[in-house]
Structure 1
Amino acid sequence: MGKKILYVEDDETLAFLTTDNLEHHYEVVHCNNGKKGFETFCTQAFDLVILDIMLPDMDGFQIAENIRKKNQEIPIIFLSAKTLKEDRIKGLKLGADDYLIKPYSIEELILKIEVFLQRSQKTTDKISIKNYSFGSFLFEPENYLVKNQHIKITLTEREAQLLKLFLDHPNMVLKREKILMELWGSDDYFLGRSLDVFISRLRKIIKEEPALAIENIPRVGFKWVVEEK
């Protein structure tokens, strides 16, 4: 069975052209307004979501935020004429996997779709993923959950991937480029800004753990520091 994509776009001409091209490769369900798009997401099963930002009834940011409350794993790609870096950063913070600026090429869109579908499939194919202990915390990568006897924190998918990367490389310097390529498959500047946000959140989680720290290595990257007991 082919992969099923939800595509939410109110520009009729663009929607027709994009849908017509994508349907050569995938099953595509198109919605022309935000409210209908989110309702459709809630009633059908999809493998990937493509969202415009400027939409009637509910904008793409709102849809993405609501989708992430229901599903942390499904890939989300924004397609938008909005070129401000703040908009790109906002989209990525909400849990989007990528952000393409209009006009975009169908070839590039399909390439990105394939990358995220393959990555999603690899995650699904993993039978079991080990849990990690650090400080007083237990980390369950499959559930994006960090917990101890006092608190439970649900991470975003990217935050969970970042934490796992650090835990797999204790006391090792990780270059920013390596982290970005591991998490997103790109070392784009705007993704780098999102990485800084994720680093900040992880630091808040471990701030009461004196033996743990995320150290900045200027102009290089970061190190997950674990002090020997």
Structure 2
Amino acid sequence: MSKPTTILLAEDEPALGLIIKESLETRNFKVLLCDNGEKAFETYKTSSPELLVLDVMMPKKDGFTLAKDIRTLDDTIPIIFLTAKSQTQDVVEGFTIGGNDYLKKPFSMEELIVRINNLLNRTKVQKESDILQVGDYAFNFPKQTLQFKIESPQQLTHREAHLLFHLIKNKNQVLDRSIILKKLWGNDDFFSARSMDVFITKLRKKLNSDENLQIINIRGYGYKLIC
């Protein structure tokens, strides 16, 4: 049997949470069940879930706020929202903050499982094609590795990988300092800016085997990856 896929489930209704957990576990999923948003965020940071199922209305930290916090750390993990709210603006907000799917209560377990499998399959295809070429380097964003020609890959930290990803996606264009600080650090204050400068210096060193690549500082605006 293949290794079970780990799902983080945040649901504050005990009975519903257990039903979902037990149903998914019969389908070879490993489920980490949390009954509030704060606990779910801590569980996310200490585990490696491959998909999130988040109730919108939860104590301590609601599902939308939780998703926003997680999106500052991870752009790619699939997120499904569960909610009794059916107004259009709520659905729009869920997708706007980074949700991938939205399931209204009450729902059938079969429908949830189909949506989970569809997202996981889509993510798998995306990851297989998500090796970005930058100069003579191959950047594997999902695995957070950077490889120069045939040398052994360098392992990047989570924040290095996300910063490099945004630099590559905006190559030869200015990457706005304020926007990327808010996205990756959560704010654009002085200390976050200094931290970002440190990560830029680290990335410059890791890219220095290709003399045609440069990360330059555009004073007052941000950084530009020249390639």
Q: Same fold (TM over 0.5)?
A: yes
1:25-44 equivalence runs, <5 A? 25=27, 26-44=29-47
**TM-score (norm. length: structure 2):** 0.60
- The one-letter amino acid of 2:6's match is K
Aligned match of 1:50:
53
Q: Percent identity among equivalent residues?
A: 37
CA distance in 2, matches of 1:129, 1:34: 34
Indicate whether 1:122 and 2:125 are aligned. Answer: yes
What is the aligned-residue RMSD (CA, Å)?
2.2
CA distance in 2, matches of 1:72, 1:21: 28
Aligned match of 1:108:
111
Secondary structure of the residue aligned to 2:31 is strand
**TM-score (norm. length: structure 1):** 0.60
Aligned length: 147
Aligned match of 1:8:
10
CA distance in 1, matches of 2:10, 2:102: 14
Aligned match of 1:69:
72
Runs of 4+ in structure 1 off by over 6 angstroms are none
**Shift of the alpha carbon at 1:13?**
1.1
1:70-219 equivalence runs, <5 A? 70-126=73-129, 128-129=131-132, 143-144=165-166, 145-152=169-176
CA distance in 2, matches of 1:149, 1:16: 49
Provide structure 1 residue ranges, at least 5 long, that are not aligned to the other structure. 132-139, 157-229
Secondary structure of the residue aligned to 1:151 is strand
Secondary structure of the residue aligned to 1:100 is strand
**Shift of the alpha carbon at 1:124?**
2.0
CA distance in 1, matches of 2:140, 2:84: 35
**Shift of the alpha carbon at 1:150?**
3.3
Provide, for residues 147-174 of structure 1, a one-character-per-residue CA deviation record: whole Å limited to 9, x for no partner: 43533476x9xxxxxxxxxxxxxxxxxx
The 3 A distance-change label for structure 1 pair 149 and 115 is: closer
**Larger Rg computed on CA atoms:** 2
**Shift of the alpha carbon at 1:117?**
0.6
